[in-house]
Structure 1
Amino acid sequence: MQIWVDADSVPLIAKDLIIKTAERTQTMAIFVANQPIKLRKSPLLVMTVVPSGFDKADDLAITSDIPLANDILDKGGMVLTTRGMVYDKNNIKQKLNMRDFMDTMRGTGVLELQEMSGQKPYGDRDKKAFADGLNRLVR
């Protein structure tokens, strides 16, 4: 198994948990981003800089990007968000539909930016849910 990480969007706390899990389980973790991020030297940690997109879906990918998650699932990969949610074929279409609906609402002006609450801060509950999900999927 390999862990693919959308490093552009992963919170620092989640990144640290991924690194610890990779080292504990001797699992390769590949961090993918459009600019380099700092990783400690380890044969299990790889930084890959790409222009955009994600065309390889091996094993487990960590991302909160819903269209990217859908593409990964279509290619046979598993997806875990940094808040501990596992995306699968049973729930990804609903997430895509909601994302598209909200995008349409914003585009038509029905929803003003100030009416949208945005994403809540990454807290201890998110950290625990992510760690539990990661430990469940990587053994």
Structure 2
Amino acid sequence: MAIWVDADACPVVIKQIIFKACNRTKIKATFVANQYLSIPQSPYLSFIQVEKGFDIADNKIVEKVSANDLVITQDIPLADEVITKGALALSPRGSLFSKENIKSRLNMRDFMETLRSSGVQTGGPAALDNKDKQAFANELDKYLARNKP
């Protein structure tokens, strides 16, 4: 059991929550990004730097993930791929992606992408707030409690 973090787009505050949680519970987390990421020295934290390019980090996570691992990502297609492999996916806002909800989320993502490509201004996601951080920390703690080493 391990945690994989799609680190290129993961907010700093969420990374800090993961650092603390993994050190506290002694569960390993690997951060995957296409640019250098400074992480605290810890036997429970590691970093894989991949080449720059579209979906290179995502592909590395899909290659390495195992059933029951947890992937932290806001990338819905990546969440879909890891769920297909039997892993769990959690967004930095605390939303747990599942077999039951991932297809509808993919459909909504594709719909919004179609709107944007046709020139409709859809705006981006709201800034991460304290409610989002707490929701993420709560979901991460539930996962860690169920998967103690």
Scaled by the length of structure 1, the TM-score of the pair is 0.93
Counterpart in the other structure of 1:24: 24
- Which of the numbers 90, 98, 111 marks the counterpart of 2:108? 98
State the distance in 2 between where 1:95 and 1:12 align. Answer: 24
**Secondary structure of the corresponding residue to residue 84 of structure 1:** coil
Question: Distance in 1 between the 2:124 and 2:114 partners?
Answer: 16
Give the corresponding residue for 1:131: 137
1:37 corresponds in structure 2 to: 37
Aligned 1:108-127 pairs, distance under 5 A: 108-109=118-119, 111=120, 113=121, 116-127=122-133
- Give RMSD over aligned pairs: 1.0
Q: 2:19–2:40: 8 Å Cα contact kept in structure 1?
A: no
Instruction: Determine the C-alpha separation between the residues in 2 that align with 1:26 and 1:7.
Output: 20
Q: Give the deviation of 1:117 after TM superposition.
A: 2.6
2:5 is the counterpart of 1:5 = yes
Instruction: Give the partner amino acid of 1:85.
Output: S
CA distance in 2, matches of 1:91, 1:12: 27
Which residue number corresponds to residue 91 of structure 2? 81
Deviation above 6 Å: which 4+ runs of structure 1? none
Deviation for aligned residue 1:74: 0.8
Q: Spell out, residue by residue over 1:73-94, the C-alpha distance to the aligned partner (whole angstroms, 9 max, x if none).
A: 1111100100000001000000
Give the drift of 1:9: 1.1
Which blocks of at least 5 consecutive residues in structure 2 are unaligned? none
Return 5+ residue gaps in structure 1 as ranges.
none
Matched residue of 1:37: which SS? coil
Shift in Å, 1:122: 0.9
Which residue identity lines up with residue 129 of structure 1 in the other structure? A
Instruction: Specify the SS of the correspondent of 2:42.
Output: coil
Q: Which amino acid aligns with 2:113?
A: D
